[in-house]
Structure 1
Amino acid sequence: MNHDTRTGGEPRRTRVVSTHSVFGAPCWVSLTSRDLQATQDFYAAVLGWRWRSAKLGEHFRIALANGVPVAGIAAVASMWQMAVAWTPYFAVPDADVAVSRVRERGGTSAVGPLSFPPGRAALLADRDGATFGIWQGELVGNWEAWRQAAPTFVRLHTRDAFDAAIFYGEVLDWATGQPGCCEVEYEGGEVVLRSQGDIVARIDSGAVEAAPDPSVRPHWQIHFAVADVPGCARTAEKHGGSVLREEDTEAILRDPDGAQFTVTSRRSR
């Protein structure tokens, strides 16, 4: 929901933002884990999140940053034989159409589309095996607030950035010129996705002139904006996580269950 405060004593008006008006961009991130309480404790310590229950049941929680819903946690990795991982979800106007496009282009459908009022979702993989989700319906909470409070962006590490951009562009209607769609550019050796002028995703496959690297395991990496990268890294280690790589403005971390994510300095956004 998107809220506008009017002057002159008028009541606050509420505008529903849906995947029909804004589509192709990341609109949510979700983590599959094994231990719900341990996961909550870890991310509360590292990212300062608070928690609320979710309508889906006792194995699910919604993470809040300064009161804004920013992520979902599903402690179903063992129960459903799923990998422990962070997954980005992209807004689509029609989940069935998006799933059909994925299959037609050599991708796979793992789950769905399933109904999760007020929308529908599916868990998919591109033709190189990178997992992502799609969401059709009303966007969670205040979408503009989510864009500011949640990930800085998501990045796809893959073997061929241009081939991946074509796949996702055809599935998610990137660069179609339709109102609300995302624009695709090439900047600094990466394919860059913009939504309403903001960078919301990047696709990287290394040096442009290099052949696709067969050793790369394609995956989407979630980047969370934080004020203190070194502080997050030390806290992650203290609470059972690990630091895979650390620089001044960015660190790749692993939570106790094994899920990887990146913390990026707000100053470098």
Structure 2
Amino acid sequence: MKSYGNRHGGVVTSQSVFGAPCWVSLTTRDLRAAEDFYHAVLGWEWDSDSKMGEQYRIARVDKVPVAGLSEVDFVARTAVAWTAYFAVSSANETVARSQERGGTTAVGPISLPPGRAALLADRDGAVFGIWEGELVSGWETWRRAAPVFIRLHTRDAFDAALFYGEVLDWASSTPGCCEVRYEENEVVLRSQEQVVARIHSGAVGAAPDPTIRPHWQIHFAVSDVEACARAARAHGGTAHQQGVGSTEAVLSDPDGAHFTVTSKAAV
């Protein structure tokens, strides 16, 4: 796979893939229970991250860092949830652009060595994070080991795409920016020719659905969707499948954080 972007002393930074999802993190009330659940469901191994402190845990797949875990109190009492983080060149400038376009800032920017982070919400209330600095793991390596993609469920995909495009510098004149296209009733985001995110609000011409609570949903690639669903139920979570043999299932952990597992064969 071709390598892109800026590297400083061999370290991959957020400038390399600015505008693209670069990390996912879970806030929870019980670190140990969350570790046990995700180990049982996704096979993740856990360790502490010396740069972020003992309260922040790193999930690994074949030794590759794939996700983070922290207690709710660790990040200004944020809600129990999975959050996707987008790489940015400047956290301050990104927060300013978001606020100028009607977004809100919940946390930050704050320094979390080796970088800076902020927690934001778009105009419709969908929460997302931004990250400036050194990436936890090489972006291409992380992409192969961790999420399939993330999808924004929202009321108006085109309005959302305009907001994120302006805030995260999508489809701009800046070299290396993400590409945005409309495909099969979704706005599709590509970075380095890979599909990294989708924005969905229904069929073309359909009126915005006021009942939708806009949110980013994280999809993890797994070998066996049904096995993950069984493990989730057996360890205090929930699982919703469309039927036997389904290539996707929406799961929740015992604390109520939702995520999706998607069959690798369907990717």
Which letter does structure 2 place at the counterpart of 1:239? H
After TM superposition, the structure 1 stretch with the greater mean CA deviation from structure 2, 247-256 or 221-230, is: 247-256
Q: What TM-score comes out, normalization by structure 1 length?
A: 0.92
Give the CA deviation at 1:79: 8.4
Counterpart position of 2:177: 181
Question: Given the alignment, which residue of 93, 104, 123 partners 1:97?
Answer: 93
Question: Given the alignment, which residue of 37, 45, 52 partners 1:50?
Answer: 45
After TM superposition, the structure 1 stretch with the greater mean CA deviation from structure 2, 210-219 or 76-85, is: 76-85
SS in 1 for 2:53: coil
Which letter does structure 2 place at the counterpart of 1:257? D
Counterpart position of 2:253: 255
After TM superposition, the structure 1 stretch with the greater mean CA deviation from structure 2, 221-230 or 55-64, is: 55-64
Give the CA deviation at 1:78: 9.2
Show the 5 A alignment for 1:46-195: 46-54=41-49, 55-76=51-72, 80-195=76-191
Cα deviation, 1:102-127, whole Å, max 9, x if unaligned, reads 10000100100011122110000001
Alpha-carbon distance between aligned partners in 1 of 2:173 and 2:180, rounded to the nearest angstrom: 11
Residue 27 in 1 paired to residue 27 in 2? no
8 Å contact kept, 1:244–1:254: no
After TM superposition, the structure 1 stretch with the greater mean CA deviation from structure 2, 15-24 or 220-229, is: 15-24
Cα deviation, 1:66-92, whole Å, max 9, x if unaligned, reads 100000001125984321110000000
Structure 1 pair 227–242 and aligned structure 2 pair: CA distance change class (3 A): same
Give the CA deviation at 1:141: 1.8
Structure 1 pair 268–23 and aligned structure 2 pair: CA distance change class (3 A): same
Aligned pair count?
258
Counterpart position of 1:227: 223
Counterpart position of 1:198: 194
Which letter does structure 2 place at the counterpart of 1:23? F
SS in 2 for 1:20: helix
Alpha-carbon distance between aligned partners in 1 of 2:266 and 2:102, rounded to the nearest angstrom: 36
8 Å contact kept, 1:222–1:262: yes
SS in 2 for 1:115: strand
Give the CA deviation at 1:245: 3.3
Which letter does structure 1 place at the counterpart of 2:211? S
Q: What TM-score comes out, normalization by structure 2 length?
A: 0.93
Which letter does structure 1 place at the counterpart of 2:85? Y
SS in 1 for 2:17: coil
Superposition RMSD on alpha carbons, in Å? 1.7
Alpha-carbon distance between aligned partners in 1 of 2:118 and 2:250, rounded to the nearest angstrom: 27
Cα deviation, 1:229-255, whole Å, max 9, x if unaligned, reads 001000100000001334511000011
Cα deviation, 1:118-166, whole Å, max 9, x if unaligned, reads 2110000001000000001111122211011010000000000000000
Counterpart position of 1:9: none
Identity level (%) = 67
